[in-house]
Amino acid sequence: MTTRDIEVGSDRASVDPYNAIQELGTAPLWRYYGNVLPKKPEPKAVPYIWKYASLRPHLLHFLETLSLEEAERRVLMLVNPGMTEPPATSTTLYAGLQIIGPGETAQAHRHTSNAFRYVIEGSGAYTTVNGERVHMRPGDLLLTPNWHWHDHYHEGEGPMVWLDALDYPLTTNCLDVNFFELYGERSQKSSVPDDLSSRQFIHGQLSPAWEVAYTEASPIGNYPWSETQRAFAAIADDATGSATEGVLLEYKNPMTAGPVLPTMGCRVSRLRPGFRGVPIRRTSSTIYHVVGGSGVAVVGDERLDWTDKDVFAVPPWHSLELRNASDTEDAYLFSYTNEPVLRALGFFREKQA
């Protein structure tokens, strides 16, 4: 034993052992059981609703005062009050409202994060995704999967607004796997016929036999609202629907019959007049966008009153009860969740709340 060892040994009684182990980069598990292994999920995200009517004037203000050269993407991020730094909308999910004016281009880039757009208002814009121009109309769902080049252009009239969805709270904030690149030029050149992927693959059960590549993300650039309407109309009076979410349809990847993106599943539901859902809780988190109509979402202890174009967040393991406020009109809700991630890893659970 050296003199030094003896000195260190004799110091031991005077040093708080908890400070000492902390300085050595450790922590006592016995003081952290509840943090490391909570009895049930304790999300940072809280139930929250973003009212479109309140946000729209601000979108128009920035359309007037902020150029796309400055902003790159003119987007109001929908920031959950429980997840402000880094900002996210709910667990693993992001939503933003993007506005673009006639003649504007949002420059081409790509990133690891999977993204999609759900069109809210306006027409005449398109997104070029890996060389394919994909046109947008209200109610359309446009995909830009992991590492696909994308830039936006508006050749129509009036403002164009859509909901952006990304999984970056997962790729960037949790997994540290995101890469980002600008394309060498502001916009991509068109390299295939416009809207080709939708025309080829939207029919689902009749897909091109020569396109056999398995793709984890759906090859469909746009799931147009016109097809969604056809799907609802075809089952209008026959479908019983789900007890929790009414006539609930899932957008499918035609290659796998699974979700449209490996990290985010998209659905749209029709709540019949007077619909009152059975409460449900799930380990997934969900973002809802009101396509049309109005109603109530009871999320945990919060009552969220929703109407046209609002967005609301349902955090994990919060009970959710959906109601259509109207006794005469249908309501339509678009939603997306991280359920594909949870299912892939064995973490998905649901139960009636």
- CA pair distance 81, 306, nearest whole angstrom: 18
- What are the residues whose beta carbons fall under 8 Å from the beta carbon of 149, sequence distance 6 or more? 108, 109, 110, 128, 129, 130, 131, 183, 188
Could you tell me the smallest distance in angstroms from the CB atom of residue 65 to ligand GTQ? 19
* 150: contact with ligand GTQ by CB under 6 A: yes
Q: What stretches of the chain show up as alpha helix (H) in DSSP?
A: 3-11, 17-23, 33-36, 52-65, 68-71, 168-171, 196-201, 225-234, 339-345
| Token code pair at residue 350 | 């649901």
Does residue 166 touch ligand GTQ according to CB under 6 A?
yes
- Taking the least distance from each CB to ligand GTQ, the nearer of 170 and 247 is 170
- Least distance (Å) between residue 94 CB and ligand GTQ: 7
98 part of the interface to ligand GTQ, by CB under 6 A: yes
How far apart (Å, rounded) are the C-alpha atoms in residues 276 and 244?
8
Whether residue 138 contacts residue 121, with contact meaning beta carbons closer than 8 Å, is answered with yes
**Residue 202 Cβ, how far from ligand GTQ at the closest point, in Å?**
23
> What's the CA gap between 63 and 328, in Å, rounded?
37
Q: How is residue 214 written in tokens?
A: 């398995």
Q: Out of 47, 96, 221, 340, point to the residue binding ligand GTQ (CB under 6 A).
A: 96
Q: Which is nearer to ligand GTQ, 168 or 223 (CB)?
A: 168
Site string for ligand GTQ, 16-55 (x = CB under 6 A): ----------------------------------------
Does residue number 164 form part of the binding site for ligand GTQ (CB under 6 A)? yes
The nearer residue to ligand GTQ, 174 or 239, going by C-beta atoms, is 174
Q: C-alpha angle with apex 112: 132 to 36, nearest 5 degrees?
A: 150
Q: Which residue minimizes CB distance to ligand GTQ?
A: 164
Q: Is 167 in the site for ligand GTQ (CB under 6 A)?
A: no
Confirm if 208 and 121 have CB atoms less than 8 A apart. no
Draw the binding track, 110-149, toward ligand GTQ (x: CB under 6 A; -: no contact): ----------------------------------------
Is residue 73 at the binding interface for ligand GTQ, with CB under 6 A as the rule?
Answer: yes
**Minimum CB distance to ligand GTQ smaller for 165 or for 322:** 165
Of 49, 75, 280, 333, which one interacts with ligand GTQ (CB under 6 A)?
75
Q: How far is CA 135 from CA 146, 151, 183, 218, in A?
A: 20, 12, 20, 17
Catalog residues that contact ligand GTQ under the rule CB under 6 A. Answer: 73, 75, 96, 98, 150, 164, 166
